Structure formats: C-alpha cells, structure tokens
Structure 1
C-alpha cells in the first residue's frame, strides 16, 4: 500500500499527464501537488513509484508517465469522478427517448462518441436465433443453387450456394425434405449437432450439399442480428497516442470489423455492477494493448441484455468518460424498458 504522500503525487502526476500528454517532472509536481516537499524529496518518491511499477520514464525525458498498473491504482483508489454538466446530461436525456429499439441503440453509440471524442460501442440486446419453419432449394444454373430459409416469425432469407456438381430437381427435393424433417422448430446452431452423424451416412455428394446449406444458413442467421453498433472509429485517427503507429491503428480497425472479440470483451461487464474499466492488455485482446475500454451493462425490465462502452487511449479523462458511460447505460435501460 502507498502512503498518502505517494498517493497524492501519483494522482497529481497522472492527472497532469492526462491533461498535457507530456512526461511529468519533479518540478511540475512540486508546483501542482500542494505538498510542501522539495524537488529532491519528490524525486525520491517518484523513484520508489517507478520501482513498484506505477510509473516509468521515457528514454527521451527526465519526466515520468503512468504505466497500466499506475492507471489501475488511479482508477480504483484515487480518481475523483466529475459530475456531468447540465449540457451533457440534457443531450443524453434528449436522445434516449423510448422509440424504436435499434434507433435508441444507434443514438447511444453516437452520443458516447460525440461526448468523449472516442469510439462509442453498444452491444445490441441478445436475442435467440429464429427457429426454422421451412428450407427449400432452387436450381439457378449449373452448380448454383438458391437456398431459401423461412423462419417461424415469417422472415425469408436467401443465400446462393456454389456446388461441386449439378444436382437434379429430385435431389434438391430430397435434400430439402431431409433437412425439413430434422430442422423444423430448431435454430441453425442446434441443427448441426443433431444431424452431423446422419450426414456422414448419406451419399458424400448429397451430404456436402446439405452441410454447405447448414453453414450458409447459420451465417445468414448470424448476419441478420447486428452484434453491436459502433460510432466514431475515425475519431481514433486523431488521437496522437494511437495514430502515431499506423500498424496498431490497422489492427484496431480490423478488430472493429470482426465484432466477435469486442462483443465478448464488453460482455464481461454484464455480470458487474456499474462501470468497468479495462486498461491495455487487461482486455486480453492484442489490438487494445494501447487502449482503455470503459464499459457498463444495460437492462430491460431488470434483466441485463447488453453492454455499452467507450474505446480510447489509455491517456483519457476517466473522470469524465466514466460518468458519461454510466448515465448513458442507465438512460438506455429506461428507454428500452419503456418501449
């Protein structure tokens, strides 16, 4: 545990680094810490903090900057969260009106981005895959077959399959009948585990067609449900701490396109109360090693259904971002519950 003097100096150092983006020296700390300490005493404390891993010294500067461990201690124990301004609060309240759920979700994502100048993310409410009512095949041309999926809620989805050989109309009817007998009333992700053994026992050319249909159908169902809505990714191109390394930026944007890993990270906040902050490699996702994710769950009728978050550099104004995420999650819960 750090004594109060060390905590105060660490807090002052991190606050100054977040504000200015420059390594903080002992003279600056002597002026801004409101502690009657000499620069020599402050240097000794900073040396101790560096040995403990809370700060580090860039090789080009005599000043210090916080490490992820330093940020973690700062957020957990030293941070003073600022209340939102009336302007920010009014802007969030005005956008979070009970309306069409997808519209409210998009508005929440855009608000998070606008108010923080980083990327705002909202994981859409989880819902079950629709169950299958009927599957049909329609021959389009040689080696091209249209897969038609009708769900129990009446949606019709199509996907073109490219096959290794031509299939006769009777073969397509056989494949459709077989899948319908095994698939009606199930979700696609349930179907594969149920019929995989039976497919092995069919003629190879027919099992290939039906396996391709299951893969395509599962992808169709996944594509129809947006995993999350993200806004303001381009804001990160203007963040000096990130944009100085274009390889890192490319990996970050690839992550945004993949969706799955980021949605899984935000889902970690589902079981937590209030806002969670993931700093650097705490996320377990390599492209976020230089980033922080501030996330919170939101509810519908008292049940957690998704998460929201802000993605930005580790050098962010946490005292401002945390209450923005917190209030937005609560107002999004109210809006969706009212709907």
Structure 2
C-alpha cells in the first residue's frame, strides 16, 4: 500500500529516532521531531494505520512504537538519505589496502569493514576457476594412486585415488599425457563435458581413471582456499539488541561457524550487483529478525569475483553502513585489479 507524504515522514522520523536511541517512540516525541504541523491525535491515527499495515509494532511494555523488518525495508528502499564518507577517511582506508598478496588484502578489507562499522565485516574470497595446468599420476601401491594437480599459479593440490584396476606406470603416464596435451588450461567442468564424448575412443580402464581424476581434481580445486574471512564478530557481543537474547546470539555464532547460509547469501548478492540489504528474517539464508546484512560485490579487472559486507543488528545506522560497504568494495576492487 502506498503511503502518503505525512505517513512517510512519520515513519522516517520514527525509524531514525529508534536507530539512534533504541527506545520505543511515542506520538509526543514524533510531533516534536517530525516537523509536521498536525495534532497529536492525527499522529496517533497515522501510527495506528502504520501498525495495521505492519510497518511498526507496539511493545507490550511501552506506549511507543518500534519499526518492524517491513518498516525498515520501506525506510531503506524509499526514505533513507545515505551519508557520504569523509574524503580523509576514504583516503586513509585506501592506504590500508596497498599492493600486496590477495589473501592479505581480503583480510585487511574484512578488518576495515569491522572497524568502520563497529560490527562484523565479512569478505568472500575470490572465486577461482578450477583450471589445471598440469596433472601427474604417481603409483603408490596396488590400486592406490596419488593425483598431483598444478594450477596456472603453480599451486599444487594432491588427491589420493583408490582404483579398481592396478594401473602400470606406463598407463599412468599415458593418461596424464592425454589430459595435459588435450585439456591443460581448461576448468575441470569443461574437461568433464568434453571427455563425455571422447572417452568412447579410449579403453574402459583408462576412461575410468580419467573420470576419477576429473572428479577428484574438481573437488581439490574447490577446497583450496577458505571461502570467506570474517572479522569483528566480538563487536556484536556489545550490541544490546543481540547480547540480550541468548537464543539469537547462539544462532548468529552458529551461522558464523557453519557459514553455509552466509555463503549462499553472498553468492546471491554478487549476482544482483550493487549494494544489497537483507533486513531481519526476510532472508531464509540468514533467518534472524535481530540481524541485518549489507553487501556489495567486488571485482578484479571488471569481473565480479566475490562479495563483501557488514553483519550487524537490524537497528543499525544504514545511512552510514551502506557507504562503508560500497567504498570498501570499490577500494578492494581497485587494489586487486592493480595487484
């Protein structure tokens, strides 16, 4: 339902006041801070309408009202005035991301998000294609083979293959040569697709070995780095809205530990592009009413490779956190692209 100008003004004033002091906001306070020339009775009627529409709620212990996740969503989408970060702050943060190893940049960016927001900062590590440059098979013993994978950066991954056939060193060399000569530089997904049609030309036992190598290689490359870096989780222990509810606190730290839902959320954000805001329990991936996540994708040479963000209470100063996330994504993109 479309809100008229007065209702929008009152909702904006209520959300801003509640974010600032965390106390339910009454009609008397709204009449002073909203700037509207209307009677307290009119304000009460409008607030009752906003409550009926699900934008605000009345705690049992107070005559005032607080915003609901739906109210926060309307505020963020249509009423929010985003602040600009001071140029001196931006320049200081730029200096914290000098040319250095990508993993160090990622860790610094997570710390930056945490320190600027005073909440938790999270950075998804850059997605790397599972491309191999060279493969070797080493016979360890009967039906036990060590798969050695070298990626384009020279990083080495090993996987143990347990086979049904006892391959000879000559067969292992033949298989490795075939893969290296025909597929080096491709991802394992591409190799898998091309091998499907070409394995008919090879003997069954060699075909089985290659299929096992592709599956094991794909798993090895997918596991070669931490999926995300999180900094400042302890900051959330000092947020009253979170620390006062042990059940929510426990759920939140389980989310940090398991990471699955958070990773899916970051993946979703990277596909949407731009700053995304997930408020309260509106996302099934992070289903906590007391927690919001503000994210933005970052790039390397114009290609989106990951997502970063701030995890904090639903009652956060979105107008301040949004530019922190946006600027950090831009600074990290620039640093990684020039690395």
Asked if these proteins are the same fold (TM beyond 0.5), I'd say: yes
- 1:95 to 1:151, Cα distance in 2 relative to 1, 3 A: closer
| Superposed CA offset, 1:260-295 (max 9, x none) | 41331331343x4xx232223454414455432222
State the distance in 1 between where 2:94 and 2:153 align.
33
Pairing 1:156–2:153 present: no
Structure 1 contact 269–295 (Cα < 8 Å) conserved: no
3-state SS of 1:35 partner? coil
Please state if 1:249 is matched with 2:252: yes
Question: Aligned equivalents of 2:230 and 2:47: distance in 1?
Answer: 39
Deviation at 1:136?
0.7
Alignment partners' CA distance in 1, 2:58 and 2:101: 51
TM-score (norm 2): 0.81
Shift of 1:124: 3.7
Matches within 5 A, 1:6-25: 6-25=7-26
- Segments of 5+ residues of structure 2 without an aligned counterpart are none
Measure how far apart 1:89 and its partner are. Answer: 3.0
Please list the CA deviations of residues 157-215 of structure 1 after superposition, one character each: whole Å capped at 9, or x if unmatched.
Answer: 21334x487x6452x7536644652464232223334446859x946x994x7655433
What residue in structure 2 maps to residue 114 of structure 1?
Answer: 115
Q: Is there any run of 5+ residues in structure 1 with no aligned partner, and where?
A: none
The structural deviation recorded for 1:127 is 3.8
Kindly tell me: are residues 116 and 193 of structure 1, through their superposed partners in 2, closer, same or farther at Cα, counting changes over 3 Å?
same
Tell me what 1:215 maps to.
Answer: 215
Q: Which residue of 2 aligns with 1:174?
A: 171
Q: TM-score, normalised by structure 1?
A: 0.81
Q: What's the counterpart of residue 268 of structure 2?
A: 265
Alignment CA distance shift 1:216-1:296 (3 Å): same
Matched residue count? 330
The answer to whether the 8 A contact 1:84-1:324 is kept is: yes
- Conserved in 1, the CA contact under 8 Å of 2:298 and 2:306? yes
Distance 1:225 1:81 in 2: 35
Q: Which residue of 2 aligns with 1:93?
A: 94
Task: Report the aligned-residue RMSD.
Answer: 3.3
| Structure 1 partner of 2:69 | 68
The aligned runs of 1:20-99 (5 Å cut-off) are 20-85=21-86, 88-99=89-100
